[in-house]
Chain A
């Protein structure tokens, strides 16, 4: 059956700014969806207020509206496009669904004769309303945990009395588990109940009996209009029930499920999806399984939309869920669609994996001082990484190596905990580091049974850990010369990094690397192909592993490598790793554009990244995708295999930039701005010398490596002083101090957290205005792509400030200084590519705060506001393919664009919400205003006065 021919023009709703619980996975989903609609010749109209997205690129949809996600905007759009036939609200997370429901309640869809596709409102209402959901499950005989819905405090108390403790409180219609909590003791109940009721927009919570320690699973489903249902992926949470799945370490495929239990779950999931309504698209179902011989399966929830887990499932299996879900919403059936990976078999099938993926969330508790760091029902992570390996152990290791938290994997880096009580405490109250603490516990000799008793983590996983540790012990009995080949190969197969093995053998990482090269233990690359090699696949989606030998009949030994190297000239783009505060979706935006621009220049493009939420890790973006940790060893092996012309490091944020030094040392070419220049800009001493030589003013500063030095420096600089470590992200550890006591405390604290760091002390220009400029430089000419003026004064991190493009009250003299300084610095640093410079303006004098010769957070914003492909241009400059003068710049903007930061403080209670030099926002939105008379601007501007009066 062909698709529904009545659908010619479709509105897609995006998910808005990034918040905890709703991140860039929806950019990935929306982008796939838009492309999928395009393939069918459908006119696409998009609304999303988040400028740092690929989906909002002018090339992605026919009409892009960077507008607030409100029904007012929806009406505006529908008036302008009366031809819109349908709205697809399932690609923009809960935000889009909520907006869709609101518009439905207001009768907007009906007024404009717009059909809802991919979902139905009843289905959303049933699945979001826990009472209705529970009743429905009862009717179709699907077991659920005993639960009751309450809408008042008093009702809640009664239910607690009936059920007893422990209990779970969940607020209805919320994202990422806001307002959800475990209640272990009666005395905590009152507060948590009120908090839940407050978090729910309809003042409703569900109180259910806690299934503590039950195993937790998720299934990703797709259904077409013929009611064909397929399960795309099964995901097992290593952390059992009790930790939000967004905060859980998850594994695919399910590791500890028998076929009997899995099929029971599959049957229930299909029954549930069919019961909630008659729609075509994606769906996510969560289950709990009792950890006893009964293997009872309870349904937890069902989400009739593309979810965070579906992005993970897409990357885990290679099956593009959002893309196919979109086709199904158009009326296609699964059997009519091709498997996008094999191109020869059907989309009506269930992917099978011959590898394991492990997802580990990335938390940023350091940014939320005072917050409760214990994991629970409310999601607190800000990003995630995925590791792919041919075993759970390898995948787990690769995921831990991807986190960029200065760990090399599990164990063997001298960083583990050694105190018994501390370890028990950390096992009991899980936080960001429990994945490491399990290893420490085993190392300390704590019995697995005890670890299981505390954590309820399935013994299977604990035994995998135990074997890793046993191998570490075994290897530690050798030295680099005596280590047998088999043991080294097994260590590599289990994911131990060369660095870890070096630690065990007490030698250098390079010696281990050399030894394994000599022994022929080489990384090989395997394909993610949805079908365990049953069919030939065309898609260039690779991960690395180590394999045993194969011998041809004539005695030639080899190891099978599926990544064939072409003779084309190649460029590697290093991705930005997991999202975190200060380094989010903006950098993925830049990486994607870098890849596309390099392809336009005739390069074969190679993307390396480990973040499953992103567009850059969509196998359709680069010519080759290596889903690998952005970790030296992996990158170096890929580069040795591919032999690219060079590597682009200035698009992937600090993650990629940090690797520049080593790349340079190993003689690998860095495209664009050289390592020396990157390093010069980071080194405050040399950089200020450069500023001095160019007659550019900067606040007085000094460098200190001890508290002693800092204190004597303070005498020269005068308080207030801004203290910060070098080589960090998003102002991590930055603080303004006003006296010597504060200074000493902060310096001691910083040096404890980041030992051997050089601390920078600046005299802080009190009450100054902050501005920043982004520019492209080709080494000869500089083009300033945008200058933004912050509304909040200097001292609030630029990522947390509201900012206007272009500046709204800087005089000609100031503007001229900004432009002159930008040009001079860009040229003096020999920038080839992008540069971002931050300024403090006081008494009409422009001072330089810092310069970063790389893509900044603001580049996507400026590109969107002006409608210009700046990253594309910058990449062509980096590659030496184009000069500034080759471009025809034509920025278009009437009025102003305001960048508004968005925070996720509601996920953390008791957290310090005060803004300062350390960034805390998780996302941003764009707001266009015609003039400064706009109310929204006036509001923001009045806040500036508030800051200044403090």
Chain B
């Protein structure tokens, strides 16, 4: 083996700060997006393929990335969805008998570029102190002015609708046709493991595009409805919000995760807001206010549901709290068969502590049948 030196690359933040590093792989190029960081120590492939990260430059805080390669099994969607990767140590080789490709190959196939050897810890500290912002990563290290121009073209995440970019174009089915329950799921960026969790609980799922109407869904005669996770700001998702209102009007069992949770809040007239730098990782503590028990959860959100408005709402109650910053973790409607969480009970990556929420959804559909 000959020692490989890599070419220079940089991250230029919207405020003009530059972090130096090395290009991952041999390709030249640039990528733009909102910069965010994820603190998970395992599960990079699941993170990169999570459609919720669409349009974001991902900083991974774990010291090494790519150690165990990639395998099709671990995909949360058809390919990597992040805008670009920023990491400390990138592994070009991997070690895992079950893997089928290196992370380098995997990212290349998804057309994603990345930068390594960055002081990611300093970068995370910078984001923590200055908030999420747009950035560009590039191998064009001597053309700062040109990169600045590129960066100026990147839209602000606030108010940005991205669900349509990652949603399925056509409806599709998941699970066994003969399953006991039918769930109509709205894909505004759905992760595969949500579908697997439902299918494992005897559910046949039909996945609809982001702009599906209530009527289209109802026609399939589902036992319950599901609003998925996804990227971007929930407020521009007018079609999904309308759909939700109709499901609630007819009091059908409804479960929402992440972006879906935010849509449910908005449908109830509760506003959402863009967080300073969000929650992204697989170690986030949540307190279940009903049981008083804690759960360690997978989280990934840059927007959150307004707590004061939720508390003041006559029909909505807070069921879960994110312990670290006391933000809303989950809600339920008092008189309707509807509940949702901001975090990811489907895990993948992350702990399975909250998978009971899928059981609760099944129970709610059961009750509704009776």
Footprint of B on A, CB under 8 Å?
A: 1, 226-228, 230-231, 234, 253-260, 262-263, 266-267, 291-295, 333-335, 345-346, 348-356, 390-392, 458-460, 463, 466-467, 470-471, 473-474, 486-487, 490, 493, 526, 531-536, 547-553, 559-560
Contact = CB atoms under 8 A, between A and B. Distances in A.
In the A-B complex, list the 10 residue pairs whose CB atoms are closest, starting with the nearest. Answer: A553-B16, A259-B43, A560-B122, A532-B61, A460-B95, A259-B349, A259-B42, A470-B3, A293-B98, A551-B18
Given A263-B351, A263-B352, A487-B5, A550 B124 contact: no
B128 interface: yes
B68 A547 contact: no
B149 interface: no
Contacts of B39: 352, 354, 531-532, 534
Nearest to B279: A534
Contacts of A231: 296
Contacts of A532: 39, 61-62, 121, 124
B323 interface: yes
Contacts of B295: 228
Contact of B95 (A1, A348, A458, A531): A458
Contacts of B62: 253, 352-354, 532
Given A460-B95, A467-B3, A534-B39, A228 B17 contact: no
B287 interface: yes
Nearest to A529: B121
Contacts of B287: 335, 348
A354 B61 contact: yes
B68 A257 contact: yes
A352 B68 contact: no
Contacts of A526: 121
13 contacts: A230-B296, A231-B296, A258-B43, A259-B350, A345-B325, A346-B323, A348-B285, A353-B41, A390-B89, A460-B67, A532-B124, A548-B19, A553-B16
Most buried by A among B20, B41, B93: B41
Contacts of A487: 5
B181 to A, nearest CB: 25
Contact of B97 (A292, A390, A391): A292
A551 B63 contact: no
A259 B284 CA distance: 16
Contacts of B190: none
A353 B294 CA distance: 22
Contacts of B61: 352, 354, 532-534
Contacts of B120: 354
B117 interface: yes
B42 A391 contact: no
B41 A352 contact: yes
Nearest to A292: B97
Nearest to A493: B117
Contact of B63 (A258, A267, A334, A353): A353
User: Dominant SS at the A interface?
Assistant: loop
A289 to B, nearest CB: 11
A689 to B, nearest CB: 55
Contact of A228 (B68, B125, B293): B293
Interface of B: 1-3, 5, 15-21, 37, 39-43, 46, 61-64, 67-68, 71, 73-74, 88-89, 91, 93-98, 117-122, 124-125, 128, 281-285, 287, 292-296, 323-325, 347-352
B291 to A, nearest CB: 9
A471 B3 contact: yes
Most buried by A among B3, B19, B43, B98: B3
Contacts of B64: 255, 356, 391-392
Contacts of A493: 117
Given A256-B68, A550-B119, A460 B3 contact: no
Contact of B18 (A349, A351, A550, A559): A550
Nearest to A264: B352
A349 B293 contact: no
Contacts of A391: 63-64, 88-89
Contact of A534 (B18, B122, B124, B350): B124
Contacts of A486: 5
Given A256-B96, A560-B122, 15 more contacts: A234-B41, A253-B42, A253-B62, A257-B42, A258-B43, A259-B282, A260-B73, A295-B98, A349-B283, A352-B41, A354-B63, A354-B120, A391-B64, A392-B89, A551-B18
A176 to B, nearest CB: 29
Nearest to B120: A354
B310 to A, nearest CB: 20
Given A263-B352, A536-B128, A548 B117 contact: yes
Contacts of A349: 283-285, 296, 323-324
Most buried by A among B43, B61, B128: B61
Contacts of B41: 234, 253-254, 352-353
A470 B1 CA distance: 6
A346 B40 CA distance: 17
Contact of B348 (A259, A334, A353, A490): A259
B350 A345 contact: no
Contacts of B352: 263, 266-267
Contact of A354 (B21, B43, B74, B88): B88
Contact of B294 (A228, A260, A295, A471): A228
A390 B117 CA distance: 10
Given A259-B43, A259-B74, A460 B94 contact: yes
A890 to B, nearest CB: 50
Contact of A547 (B122, B128, B282, B348): B122
Contacts of B74: 258-260
Contacts of B283: 349-352
A553 B128 CA distance: 18
Nearest to A547: B119
A516 B2 CA distance: 24
Most buried by B among A231, A352, A356, A474: A352
A253 B42 CA distance: 9
A334 B16 contact: no
B67 A335 contact: no
B331 to A, nearest CB: 19
B67 A255 contact: yes
A560 B119 contact: yes
B347 A533 contact: no
B324 A535 contact: yes
B285 A356 contact: no
Nearest to B281: A352
A456 B4 CA distance: 26
Nearest to B5: A486
A862 to B, nearest CB: 45
Contacts of B121: 354, 390, 526, 532-533, 547, 560
A227 B347 contact: no
Contacts of A260: 73-74
A563 to B, nearest CB: 13
Contact of A533 (B40, B46, B128, B293): B128
A455 to B, nearest CB: 14
A846 B117 CA distance: 64
A298 to B, nearest CB: 17
A294 B282 CA distance: 24
Contact of B125 (A256, A463, A560): A560
Most buried by B among A335, A463, A534, A553: A534
Contacts of A234: 41
Nearest to A392: B64
A213 B143 CA distance: 51
A625 to B, nearest CB: 18
Contacts of A390: 63, 88-89, 121
B300 to A, nearest CB: 13
Nearest to A486: B5
Contacts of B122: 547, 550, 560
Contacts of A552: 16-17
A392 B293 CA distance: 36
A547 B74 CA distance: 32
B46 A226 contact: no
